[in-house]
A and B are shown apart, each in its own frame.
Chain A
Amino acid sequence: MRFLSRPERLTRLGVILWALRIALIAFVVAGSYATLSGASGSPVLSPEGWRDLIIFGIAQGSVYALIALGYTLVYGILFMINFAHGEIFMAGAFTGFFVAVALAEEGIMEANPVLGIVILLLSSMITSMIVAVLLERIAYRPLRRAPRLVPLITAIGASLVLQYSFRGIYGSGVRAYPLPDAIRGRVEILGIPILRSQLIVVIAAVLLMFALYYLVERTRTGRSMRAVSEDKEVAALMGINVDRTIATTFAIGGLLAGAAGVLYVFIFNQVSFAMGFLPGIKAFTAAVLGGIGNIVGAMLGGLTLGILESVGPFLLLSGFGVPSTNQLRDVIAFSMLVIVLIFRPYGILGRKES
Chain B
Amino acid sequence: MSPSGLAERVPAIAVKGAVKRYGHVQALRGASLEVYPGEIVALYGDNGAGKSTLMKVMLGVVPPDSGSISIAGREVDMTSIRESQDRGVDAVHQDLALPPDLTVLESMFLGHEVMRTGLLGRLGVLDRTAMADASREALERLGIRLTTVRIPVKSLSGGQRQAVAVARAVMWTSTALLMDEPTAALGARQSDIVCDTIVSTAARGLGVLVISHDLPRTLAIAHRVVVLVRGAVAFDGPAHGLSVPEIVEIMVGHLRDSMGGSSNGGS
A binds B: no
